[in-house]
Structure 1
Amino acid sequence: MPTGPVQLIVLGFARAGFQAGINAELGRLRRACREAVDVLDALAVFKEPGGGLEVEHLGALTRDEAIEAGSRIADLVGLAIEGERSAAAARSAGEADIGDAEILAEDAWDVLDEIPPGSAAALVLLEHRWAIPLRDAIARTGGHHISDGFVSPLDLTAIGLHTAEEAERLYRWETGDARRTR
C-alpha cells in the first residue's frame, strides 16, 4: 500500500494535562477519517525547567503496545524513549526491514529545541492518504513539490474565510500570544 504525504504537527501547551482531550480526538480521527488522514504516531513531550524531557504516548495504545511498536516520531526527531527500541536498532538486529535510510542525530528534525522549558507539546505524525492520487497524478505529469504550509487566519480574513474577530482569536490561539492585537 502506498504511503501518502506525511506531516509532523507540533502543538504547544503551557503545562501538562492536555492528554485526555487530545487522546479522545485522536481516537475519533482514527475511527472516522482513516481513509483520508491516518494518525501514524502521537507523543506528549514535557520539557522540565532544566531542559530534561519526559515523553508519553498519546492515543489508544497501551504502554506495552507503544513499547512494542516504538515511536516513529521519536526516530524522526532523534528522541530516545526509555524502554523502546529505535527503528535503527531494530534494523541492525534484523527485526525490521525499512531500507537503508537512517536518521542521524544531525539530520533529525529540530523540533524539541522549540519547546520552551517548563511547558509541554503534542507531536502528531499524520499521513494524508487523500493526497496519494493527487500526488501521483502530479508526478505522472512532471510536477513536483515546491512548498507547503498552513495559512494564517489573519491572511484568510482578506479572502473572506474569517471575520476579523475570529481570525484574531485563532491567530492568538495558533501563536500562543493572548496579548497580540492587530
Structure 2
Amino acid sequence: MTGPVQVLVVGFDEPAFSGEVLAELTALRERGVVRLVDVVLVERRDDGAFEVLEPPPGSDPDLGRVAAEVLGGGRGADQPSSDDVSPDGTWSLADAVPPGGVAAVALLEHLWAEPLLAAIGRAGGRPLAEHWLPEDDRPG
C-alpha cells in the first residue's frame, strides 16, 4: 500500500525528546494509519539559514537523511536552505520555521488515504490542496 506523503513541521520552544511522539507514531503504524518515512531536526539561525541538528541519543544514526535530502533538493543531508520550495512552487520551509526556531520536519505516509485517493482518481479527480485547521478553528 502506498499513500500520500505529508511534510509535517512541528515547532518547539524547548525541545524535550522523550520518545513519546515516536511511540505514538509506531502505534499508528501498527494500526495501518500512518508510517513515519523519516524525520529531521532543524534549527533556523537568526540569519535565516538552516542547520540540521543531531538526532536524539539512541536514535538510528541515519534518522533524518531522507527528509534532509527531500528538503535540500539534492544538495545533501546537511544543507536544507531557507528557500526550499515544493515541486509545485507553493511552499518553503522558511514559511514554517521562524528565525531562531527549532523544528522537527517529518515525512508521514498516510496509509489510510491510499484507497481514498485511488477512488478520487477513478472518478477523474485529484487533490488540489490540503490544510490542517488549528485547534481554535475546529468546529465544536
The verdict on a shared fold, with TM-score over 0.5 as the criterion, is yes
Aligned to 2:35: 38
Tell me, yes or no, if the aligned pair for 1:46 and 1:53 is still in contact at 8 Å. yes
- Maintained 8 Å contact 1:44/1:58: no
| Structure 1 residues 92-171: aligned runs within 5 Å | 107=85, 110-112=92-94, 114-156=96-138, 159-160=139-140
What RMSD over aligned residues (CA atoms) do the two structures have, in Å?
Answer: 2.8
**CA distance in structure 2 between the partners assigned to 1:74 and 1:60 by the alignment:** 19
- In the other structure, the counterpart of 1:10 is 9
**1:46, CA displacement in angstroms?**
2.1
Corresponding residue number in structure 2 for 1:75:
69
Which letter does structure 2 place at the counterpart of 1:71?
R
Give structure 1 stretches of 5+ with no counterpart: 83-104, 161-182
In the TM superposition, what whole-angstrom CA distance separates every residue of 1:125-161 from its partner, at most 9, and x where no partner exists?
10000011111111112122122111233332xx42x
Deviation string for 1:45-71 (max 9, x for gaps)? Answer: 1234454514233697422xx17xx62
Change (3 A) 1:59 1:27: farther
User: Cα 1:52–1:43, aligned 2, differ >3 Å: closer, same or farther?
Assistant: closer
Mapped partners of 2:125, 2:46: distance in 1: 46
5+ residue gaps, structure 2, are none
Structure 1 residues 147 and 36: alpha-carbon distance in aligned structure 2, compared to 1, 3 A threshold: same
2:23 aligns with 27
* 8 Å contact kept, 1:19–1:44: no
Q: How many residues are matched?
A: 127
What is the TM-score with the length of structure 2 in the denominator? 0.72
Alpha-carbon separation, structure 1, partners of 2:120 and 2:58:
35
Q: Percent identity?
A: 32
State the Cα distance separating 1:73 from its structure 2 match: 1.3
Structure 1 residue identity aligned to 2:69: D
**SS of alignment partner, residue 132 of structure 2:** coil
